[in-house]
Amino acid sequence: MINQASYFLLWPHECDAMPAPKQVEESMQLIEMLQQKAPHLVNKQKRFVPKQSITWTQRLLLPSTYPFKNGQQAQTKGGVVWTDYKVSFWPLMLFILKIDGGLAWEQVQQQFFYEETELPNWQAISQHLQSCENVSAIDMDELDRWYDEVSITHISPLAFHQLYEWFGMDLKEISYSAFDFFMEKRNGVDAWIKALQKHLSRLQTLTSTEREYLLSHYLIKLLKQQ
């Protein structure tokens, strides 16, 4: 069972050298596609690599859209800074399972991840997601309104926002289920666990072992965050 790995899209961990402009252009195309099809999967993160620099001469030859810059702050001088885009393994896996209900976890792993490295095959994933409808990303105000509707269940704002990164638009339906379960026994964590179990059970090719693994290793811990 793969752990919750994260994959940076602009400068992947497995790449030693700063990406070339052509590679960055291809990565941005992937990012734009993911933001259209599954915006909850893509999360921005500021990054810094020390002992790297872009010379003045190199900068003249680079396009203005090149995202990597020399650090200017005291804590980033002598290195390169940029905003990267991160995708996490299990939310990606769950999204693929959702849009293609006939695939089992093992099949998804074989078709969309490289066996030797366990890294995503982004070309295969991109082709697979092309058939999905575009989904508008919700802004934080809308997500906060969702939260206000179910805050009586005692879930923390942090946990709620992180659940959005796992489930995207499905979180609204999960929230209503959690609310209904909460009104029965007034136990917030238990209500959310039941709601997540109900949602995961709809992914018919996800086995009970895999569902319990997700709950015990990630989702229950997430729910208990304050």
Q: What's the alpha-carbon Rg for the chain, to the nearest Å?
A: 20
Pick the more confident residue, 4 or 216.
216
Tell me the per-residue pLDDT of 106-148, one tens digit each, with 9 for 90 and over.
899 999 999 888 899 999 999 999 888 998 888 889 999 999 9
Long-range contacts of 61-65 (CB under 8 A, 24+ apart): 62/21, 63/21, 65/24
Tell me the per-residue pLDDT of 22-32, one tens digit each, with 9 for 90 and over.
999 999 999 99
Closest of 25, 32, 30, 17 to residue 80, by C-alpha: 17
pLDDT classification of 50: cutoffs 50, 70, 90: very high
pLDDT classification of 1: cutoffs 50, 70, 90: low
Q: Do the Cβ atoms of 173 and 199 come closer than 8 Å?
A: yes
Strand ranges (DSSP E) for 11-65? 43-50
Per-residue pLDDT for 181 more than 80?
Answer: yes
- What pLDDT does 111 receive? 93
Cβ burial, residue 197 (10 Å; 0-12/13-18/19+): middle
- What pLDDT does 103 receive? 86
pLDDT classification of 3: cutoffs 50, 70, 90: low
Farthest CA pair distance, the chain:
67
Tell me the per-residue pLDDT of 62-112, one tens digit each, with 9 for 90 and over.
999 999 999 999 999 999 999 999 999 999 999 999 987 788 888 999 999
- What pLDDT does 102 receive? 82
70 - beta bridge partners?
A: 80
CA angle centred on 201, ends 107 and 103, rounded to 5°:
15
Tell me what the mean pLDDT of segment 153-160 comes to.
96
Task: Answer whether 0.75 is exceeded by the pTM.
Answer: yes
**Hey, is 39 helix, strand or coil?**
helix
Q: What average pLDDT does the chain have?
A: 93
- What does residue 122 show for φ and ψ, rounded to 5 degrees? -65, -30
Tell me what the mean pLDDT of segment 25-42 comes to.
96
Distance of alpha carbon 215 from the chain centroid: 17
Amino acid at 221: K
Amino acid at 106: E
- What pLDDT does 9 receive? 97
Pick the more confident residue, 211 or 225.
211
Instruction: Give the side-chain half-sphere CA count within 13 A for 17.
Output: 4
- What pLDDT does 4 receive? 73
6 - beta bridge partners?
A: 88
pLDDT > 70 in the chain, percent: 99
